[in-house]
Amino acid sequence: MPETTSPALTVALAYHQAWTSHDMDKAMSYVAGDIVCDAPAGRLEGAAAYRGFMGPFVQTLKAATLIAAFGDNTTAVVVYDTETVPVKSAPAAECVTVTDGKISYSRFIFDRLPFDAARKAAAGSG
């Protein structure tokens, strides 16, 4: 984990470390109850919606590799690659705002296309 003097990055990396270790309970301890997340499929509001988005993804997670992580007092960006059951390489970037030690806003960027293709392939073979 990179050394950092950024309070926002400290939280973002702790959150990242937790979910990539499949510990969604710990990951959610860094997420504000009223988090707003702009994800590729649209806006998610509230911790329950956010966990509903991340939880199923984390269940398919086989490995994660940190690519870059930067931050300042209130904002952090974490870029990483993931290997999941349906998709071998699915890189993502999360740009988060941290308020009172918790992630209050997240801009979540990844490519949905390979997940969509995997879903269609699975449906087609089912």
* Tokens coding 91: 């890189």
> Which of 80, 76, 79 has the alpha carbon at shortest distance from 101?
76
Distance in angstroms (rounded) separating the CA atoms of residues 20 and 23: 7
x-marked contacts with its own copies along 23-52 as a string, rule CB under 8 A: ---------------x-x------------
Interacting span for its own copies (CB under 8 A) from 14-22, 49-57, 71-79, 118-126: 71-79
Choose, by CB under 8 A, the member of 77, 87, 98, 103 that binds its own copies. 77
Residue 79 interacts with its own copies (CB under 8 A): yes or no:
yes
Residue 92 interacts with its own copies (CB under 8 A): yes or no:
yes
Query: Minimal distance in Å, beta carbon 25 to its own copies?
Result: 28
Residue 93 interacts with its own copies (CB under 8 A): yes or no:
yes
Residue located via tokens 């990951």: 27
* Tokens coding 80: 């990483």
> Which of 49, 26, 27, 24 has the alpha carbon at shortest distance from 36?
49
Residue 19 interacts with its own copies (CB under 8 A): yes or no:
no
Residues touching its own copies: how many (CB under 8 A)? 21
Q: How many CB atoms lie within 10 A of CB 2?
A: 12
Q: Is 58 helix (H, G, I), strand (E, B) or coil?
A: helix
Is the four-CA dihedral 103, 80, 108, 27 of positive or negative sign?
negative
Residue 83 interacts with its own copies (CB under 8 A): yes or no:
no
Binding interface with its own copies (CB under 8 A): 38, 40, 67-68, 70-72, 75, 77, 79, 91-93, 95, 107, 109-113, 116
